[in-house]
Amino acid sequence: MTTEEAAGAVRQVSTVRDVGERVEVTGYSVVEVERALRLLGAVNSEAADARDRLHTQVNIAMLKSQTPLISQASQSHALRRSALRMQLLEEQGYDTHGSLAQKRQTQESSARTWVARERERGNLFTLKLQGTTIIPSVQLTDDGSLHESVTELVRILRGAGMDGWSLWAWLCSPTGLLSGNVPAQVAESNPERAMKAATRMAAELKPTRPTVA
């Protein structure tokens, strides 16, 4: 059976049914289906290897021609971004599932479940730091509950597609939308004003649709 025949065996089966945790296939023998799947797996693996080889060859060619892999502007941007993230980590603080469990006086598994639930609801954002999930403290109270006034801002900006690092930076940095004040701080004293600023920021994030003549 050729690769094309193998692909056809998977695509053109008489019937494919999802039955609980298994799939039923009729119209082909077990041997034919297993052979087709093995061949397709080999093809996909070869395609992935080919892409990796191409990327490596391109990078080598750029190095030999002394073409910079990252432009000077991109390097400067990366350095500024790294500095900002380091500042957030050191000055604003964060929790892990373990430290949050201590604040909430519960098991780490329970804290993990709570974080996942609130993140799914859009009330909370988390980040990955060297493989560990971290929860920026700006959105939490001292006892590990949601900081409700900040939660409203998180919900608005997450809904607009703002990524976690940008959201953390916006919450903790002065913004012209609040006359140079910090959103998370304004949220405590004047929640409505902070929400208006977040709504305006969210509107700026949404791509504008081209006008059709």
Greater confidence (16 vs 93) lies with: 93
Q: Is the separation of the CB atoms in 92 and 138 below 8 Å? A: yes
Greater confidence (20 vs 202) lies with: 202
pLDDT at 56: 62
| 73-90 tens-digit pLDDT | 666 656 677 777 888 888
Report residue 184's pLDDT band, with 50, 70 and 90 as the boundaries.
very high
pLDDT at 82: 72
Is pTM beyond 0.75 here?
no
pLDDT at 15: 63
- For residue 35, with 0-12 CB atoms within 10 Å meaning exposed, 13-18 middle and 19 or more buried, which class applies? middle
Task: Work out the end-to-end distance of the chain between its first and last CA atoms, rounded to an integer number of angstroms.
Answer: 55
| 56-75 tens-digit pLDDT | 665 555 555 555 555 666 66
Q: Using CA atoms of 104, 110, 115, 121 in order, give the dihedral in degrees to the nearest 10.
A: -110
Cα–Cα distance for residue pair 112/97, rounded to 1 Å: 6
Q: Is the pLDDT of residue 213 over 50?
A: no
- Spans of all domains in the chain: 3-64, 72-205
For 16, 28, 43, 87, 158, the CA distances from 10, given in Å and listed in that order, are 9, 9, 14, 52, 40
